Amino acid sequence: MHRSVRSALLIPLTVTGLLTGCVSTPDQSDEVAPPFVLRSLNLNQRRDDGSRDWDLTSPEARYDLESRTVQAQRPSGVVYRDDQPYLRISARQATVVNDGDRIVLEGSVQLQQLKGQRLLIEGDRLVWTPDDSNLVIDRTPTAVDSRSKLSAERFVLLQDRDQLRLDGPTRLLHWSEERSDETDSDTEILGGSGSWNLQSGRLKVSGPVTARRNDDSVLKASSLEGDTAEQFLDLIKPVSLNLGGDRGTVSAQTTRWNYVDRQFRSAGPVEGRRKEMRMRGTGFLMDEQSSTLVVLSACRLDQPGEQLQAQRCSWNWESQEIIAESDAQRLKGRVGDDDRLQFNSTDERVRSQFRLPPSSVSEDSGAPDTQVTF
C-alpha cells in the first residue's frame, strides 16, 4: 500500500528549534553545506486514507539536505495499525534515509507490543521499510513475555499481517514461574525457521525439534505447531521422549503438549519402554507432575516370554509402579531391581497372560504357576 510522508524537506517546519544551520558565502558556493543540527525532531507518516502509520521523535538530530538523511539520537516513536497504537519503538540512535523510505535503528532497539500478548521484541539493529510494512531485526533478536524468551538469527515483523517470521535456528526458553535472566529456564526448545502470529498466538517451527528439560529429559519431534495464547504446542510425529537416566523412554505420534499444566496427550499409538519391559496401546495421557504415563485403551505389557493385555494401564516412571485395569478389575505391579515386571497381587476373577510370581499363589495349594488372560 502506498503511503505519503511528511518528508524531510519539511523537517525544518516540524522541529521545535534549530541550534545551527548552514551559512553560505559567494566564495563557498561549491562547498558542501554542513548538516542542520536540530534541537528536537518530530517526524510522522500517514497512509493514503489519512490514517496514522508511524511517528518518530528525537531530542537531538542532524539533517543532511543533500542526501535527505536524518541522524537522530535516542529516538522513540509509535507504529500504528488500523490507526491505533500497535508498537512502541525506541533505540539509541536512528538513521532516516531518503525522507523516510528506510529507517535504521541501532543500539538497544526495543519494540513493545501495546495490545494482545504485550510481547517485548529486542535487538541491536532494526531495518524498517515503511512502504513494505516490514521491520527486520538482524542482530541478536529476542522476544520475551512473562515466562518465555524466543530468539533466532533474524526476526522479520510483517506489520500488516501481525506476523513475526523467525529466520534461522530458533531457540525458545520457558520458565514455569516468572521469567528471570538470573535463573535457568525449565525448558529449552531448539528448532529451525518458523513464524508466530502475534495476534492469534499461532506458532510454527520447522524441524528437527529438540526440547531439553531441567530434569534431564529430552524430547524430539519432526516439527511443531502451537498456540501461545492457548498455551499448547503440537509436536508433529514421530515424537520421542527420553525420561532421563534409566527411567525409560516414550515413543508416540503427533502429541499435544500443554506446557503450563505439564501434560502430553495423543489419540495415536504409544509405546513406553524401560529396558526389556514395554507398555503399548492407543491414546495416552502423560502427566509430568505425577510422573505417570496412562495408556487409555488396548494396553499391552510385554517382557521376554510374557505378555499381558488390558483395557487401560498406567506407569509411574519414578516409582516404577504399573497398574493394569479392565472392567473394574485391577492388577498392580512394579518393575523390580532385576528390571522385570512382577505383580504382587491379583483378583481371582482377573485373567492375565503374565506368569504371576510365586508369592501370588497360596503355598498350601501346591498349585503351579498358571497363565491367565486379563
Residue 159 has phi, psi (to 5 degrees) of -60, -45
Burial class (CB in 10 A: 0-12, 13-18, 19+), 202: middle
Residue range 141-236 in CATH 2.60.450.10: yes
Contact by Cβ (8 Å): 335, 320:
yes
pLDDT digits 0-9 by tens, 231-275: 899 999 999 999 888 888 999 999 999 988 889 999 999 999 988
Average pLDDT over residues 286-311: 91
Residues sharing a CB contact under 8 Å with residue 95, sequence separation 6 or more, in sequence order = 69, 70, 71, 72, 103, 104, 106
Q: Which of 27-36, 286-295, 335-344 has the lowest mean pLDDT?
A: 27-36
> pLDDT band at 159, cuts 50/70/90?
confident
Average pLDDT over residues 13-33: 45
Q: What is the mean pLDDT of residues 143-169?
A: 91
**Residue 90: what pLDDT?**
96
- pLDDT on residue 157: 92
pLDDT of 349 reads 42
Residue whose C-alpha cell is 498358571: 370
Burial class (CB in 10 A: 0-12, 13-18, 19+), 216: exposed
pLDDT at 4: 43
Of the listed ranges 7-11, 27-31, 75-79, 281-285, the one predicted with least confidence? 7-11
pLDDT at 168 over 70: yes
Q: Which CATH class is domain 246-374?
A: mainly beta
Which pLDDT score is estimated for 34? 62
Asked if pLDDT for residue 327 goes beyond 50, the answer is: yes
Please report which confidence band the pLDDT of residue 345 belongs to, taking 50, 70 and 90 as the band edges.
low
Q: What is the pLDDT of residue 130?
A: 81
* Average pLDDT of the residues in 62-67: 84
Average pLDDT on 42-68 reads 87
What mean pLDDT is reported for the chain?
81
pLDDT above 90 covers what percent of the chain? 45
pLDDT of residue 125: 97
| Residue 230 identity | E
Residues 117-141: tens digit of each pLDDT:
788 999 999 998 888 888 999 999 9
31 pLDDT band, cuts 50/70/90, is low
Would you say 268 and 282 are in contact if contact means Cβ atoms under 8 Å apart? yes
Over 90: is that where the pLDDT of 214 sits? no
Second CATH level (architecture) for the domain 1-25+55-140: Sandwich (2.60)
Q: What is the mean pLDDT of residues 319-344?
A: 84
CA distance 99 to 44: 11
d(CA 72, CA 64): 11
* Topology alike, domains 1-25+55-140 and 141-236: yes
Domain layout of the chain by residue ranges:
1-25+55-140, 141-236, 246-374
Tell me what pLDDT residue 338 has: 78
Q: Which cell is 270 given?
A: 504409544
Q: Distance between CA atoms of 135 and 107, rounded to whole angstroms?
A: 15
pTM for the full predicted model: 0.78
Contact 239, 219 (CB under 8 A): yes
Give residue 105's pLDDT: 95
